Chains A and B, each alone.
Chain A
Amino acid sequence: MQTQFKNIDPPMWVAWNQAKASIRVRFLRMLITSIGVALGIAFFSSMEVLAFSPVKAGMQSHSQMQWLTGTSLVMCLVGVTNSMLMSVTERYREIGTIKCLGASDSFIVKVFFLEALLLGAIGSFGGALIGTLLMAAVMAATTGGPGVGSIGLVLLIGTGVGMLMTVLAAVAPAIQASKMPAAAALRVDV
């Protein structure tokens, strides 16, 4: 008997269903991850509001603002990467099992991509909203507040940056995990 190989990849909805099931069952864990993303982005967004504001609350120079925004971005990146890295590494065994069932490497990456996209979108938008509105309220009370246009822009930047970071932080280790031999993935005990 000779195996006739065909190039079959399951449709995207199979990966989507797997991602949805994972989020539903691990809801609390995912919620904590999402809150981690939200907090990082909230800090970043609040700094962005300051940076975009025409009035710098009378204390920050341009370079100080850049430094603050950059620092907030790094803190956010570390937090998000840590959360997403954990969520991938704790599931090596599941990855090994799905590989045994015939999943291609790309299917595994797709599942983590979709999960991260959803988590990233919710966490980042929530965080951007909180950070932007809080800082806008503080500024409104002290210096007259930022413009409506800059609030919209910061929301957009915060959500975009958060989603990008979340997806990259999840997909990079997922690609690495998907390329592991199934036996090695099954052996990992986290």
Chain B
Amino acid sequence: MSDEGSREVVVRTVDVVKQYGEGEAAVRALNGVTCEIFSGEYLSIMGPSGSGKSTLFNMIGGLDKPNEGSVFVNSVDIAQLTPKELAFLRCHTIGYIFQTFNLISVRTALENVTLPMLFAGLTPEEADERGIKLLELVGLGHRLHHRPSELSGGQQQRVAIARSLANNPSIILADEPTGNLDLKTGQEIIDLLRTLNVERGVTIISATHDHKMLDVSDRIFHIRDGQLALVETREELDKAKAGV
């Protein structure tokens, strides 16, 4: 990308190593990953199962800490944060979307969306007002008081997207967001994420197997055996698609 030097970096990883287990049974899920992710871009992390993409996703999102190396989110080294600071970062800076939706089963759609707002210190009235707007934004204004078990997979993922936007995060992390959805619903979710990316300028980082994601991504990170094997840009993807 020609203007990479001038773009604001929201996430930077430096020689990140993540190892599970010890001794002979140890497995290196990430083996020295160094990368930069820019503000406002739509980035897909692709790779086969077991390649380390979900581990990288967890590192970037502050859900896990690396054994070696550093992860900087908005210039903050997350390994240096206390648990409370890490919770604050997750609450205010990052929104999460999961393959299995991970809605709180005992709360309604609106309560799922407003919970992070209450963590952020909003009053219930403010949270409800903003939560309703977000659910309307994702097309679920008529499903506010339904619990996850009363919603379809696509609707649950929309609630998860609305929830991820609760505190206006600068980054949305989506782990296989279309993995449990049919083709049509998956495409709708991809389109919705792209719209949010364009209209709100939120950085989308998605670990995915889904090749439909290629069409909307600004860059693709290909992970192989715990390493960043290839970075493709939009221009390169378009050229490849056009057969140049």
Contact = CB atoms under 8 A, between A and B. Distances in A.
Interface of A: 1-3, 5-8, 10, 14, 18, 21-22, 24-26, 93-94, 96-105, 107, 179, 181-184, 186
A101 B116 contact: yes
27 contacts: A1-B10, A2-B76, A3-B73, A3-B74, A3-B76, A3-B88, A3-B92, A8-B121, A10-B119, A10-B121, A21-B107, A25-B106, A94-B104, A97-B102, A98-B104, A99-B63, A99-B90, A100-B90, A100-B102, A101-B166, A102-B120, A104-B83, A107-B119, A179-B83, A181-B64, A182-B63, A182-B90
Nearest to A1: B74
Given A2-B75, A100-B63, A102-B91, A7 B84 contact: yes
Nearest to B90: A102
B111 interface: yes
Contacts of B8: 1
B171 to A, nearest CB: 11
Interface of B: 8, 10, 39, 58, 61-65, 73-76, 83-85, 87-93, 96, 98, 102-107, 111, 115-116, 118-121, 147, 163, 166-167, 170
Among A2, A5, A6, find the residue whose CB has the most chain B CB atoms closer than 10 A. A5
A104 B87 contact: yes
A187 to B, nearest CB: 9
Grouping DSSP codes into helix (H, G, I), strand (E, B) and loop, the A interface class, with mixed when no group exceeds half, is: helix
A22 B163 CA distance: 19
B76 A25 contact: no
Given A1-B74, A14-B118, A181-B63, A103 B87 contact: yes
Given A10-B118, A25-B105, A5 B85 contact: yes
Contact of A94 (B10, B105, B119, B120): B105
B118 A104 contact: no
Contacts of B64: 181-184
A166 B133 CA distance: 41
A3 B93 contact: yes
A189 B121 CA distance: 32
B91 A101 contact: yes
Nearest to A23: B106
B125 to A, nearest CB: 14
Contact of B120 (A1, A7, A8, A97): A8
B172 to A, nearest CB: 12
A44 to B, nearest CB: 31
B105 A102 contact: no
A102 B163 CA distance: 12
A7 B166 CA distance: 19
Contacts of A103: 87, 119
Nearest to B57: A183
B146 to A, nearest CB: 13
A3 B74 CA distance: 7
Contact of A21 (B73, B111, B121): B111
A2 B65 CA distance: 20
A172 B63 CA distance: 22
B139 to A, nearest CB: 22
Among A21, A22, A101, find the residue whose CB has the most chain B CB atoms closer than 10 A. A101
